[in-house]
């Protein structure tokens, strides 16, 4: 089941999400939310989706398997935290399902280390590089109440008629 995407100017998008404990993560309600996040993300041509974008201000997000060639399935991250592995950054275009039609250039670290829980509450610890690292940083920003337009330069709008073509060219909307 796809869920409605929360869009600006909804105030909850600007709030820091709450951490979830393992019992809550394993609850039927949150497991159903996880199942719904994936088709919701793909239904809007996204490559990542955070729980606040569907009205749940908890520290939970999904990263589509297309974000990295080593992923064999969509990645669920509960309570994710990242830190930079190097000072190297890159600037690239980003968009957001919660800010439809707007895009801008965002500077992100290109090599990060991530710790989180998977959908069953098992610990995860891995490195992410390039686009994969960008998607994770974007989603964790959502969990902190930060939107890409807060960091972007050269923000521009794409006409709704051209939006689908544009998203395909950009590898999906984060």
Q: Point out the catalytic residue in the list 73, 139, 157, 168.
A: 139
State both tokens at 162.
């051209």
pLDDT on residue 94: 96
Q: How confident is the model over 45-102, as pLDDT tens digits?
A: 899 999 999 999 999 999 999 999 999 999 999 999 999 999 999 999 999 999 999 9
- Is 139 annotated as catalytic? yes
Q: Do 95 and 152 touch, CB atoms closer than 8 A?
A: no
Query: For the chain, which residues make up each domain, given as ranges?
Result: 11-169
Strand, helix or coil for residue 116 = strand
**HSE-CB for 11 with a 13 A CA cutoff:** 0
162 contacts: CB under 8 Å, gap ≥ 6: none
State the Cα torsion 54-97-111-105 to the nearest 10°.
Answer: -150
Residues with Cβ < 8 Å from 39, sequence gap 6 or more?
1, 2
Spatial strand order of the sheet with 89-96 comes to 89-96, 99-109, 153-157
pLDDT confidence of residue 167? 59
Backbone angles phi, psi at 116, to 5 degrees: -170, -175
CATH of 11-169, one of 3.40.50.300, 3.90.1150.10, 2.60.120.10, 3.90.45.10: 3.90.45.10
**How does the average pLDDT of the chain come out, rounded?**
94
pLDDT attached to residue 171: 56
Region of 171 on the Ramachandran plot (φ > 0 left; ψ -120 to 50 alpha; else beta): left
For residues 154-160, average pLDDT: 87
Residue 151 in this model has a pLDDT that exceeds 80? yes
Which parts of the chain fold into alpha helices (H)?
22-25, 28-43, 130-143, 148-151, 163-169
Predicted local confidence at residue 41, as pLDDT? 96
* pLDDT on residue 44: 84
């Amino acid at each position: 089941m796809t869920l409605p995407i929360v869009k600006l100017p909804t105030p909850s998008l600007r709030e820091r999400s709450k951490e979830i404990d393992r019992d809550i993560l394993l609850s039927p309600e949150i497991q159903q939310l996880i199942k719904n996040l994936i088709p919701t993300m793909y239904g809007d041509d996204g490559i990542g989706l955070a729980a606040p974008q569907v009205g749940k201000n908890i520290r939970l997000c999904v990263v589509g398997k297309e974000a990295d060639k080593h992923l064999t399935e969509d990645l669920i991250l509960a309570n994710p935290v990242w830190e930079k592995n190097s000072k190297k950054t890159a600037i690239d275009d980003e968009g957001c399902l919660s800010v439809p039609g707007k895009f801008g250039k965002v500077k992100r670290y290109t090599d990060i280390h991530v710790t989180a829980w998977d959908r069953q509450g098992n610990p995860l610890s891995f490195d992410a590089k390039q686009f994969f690292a960008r998607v994770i940083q974007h989603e964790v920003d959502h969990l902190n109440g930060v939107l890409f337009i807060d960091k972007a330069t050269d923000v521009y709008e794409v006409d709704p008629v051209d939006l689908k073509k544009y998203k395909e060219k950009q590898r999906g909307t984060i």
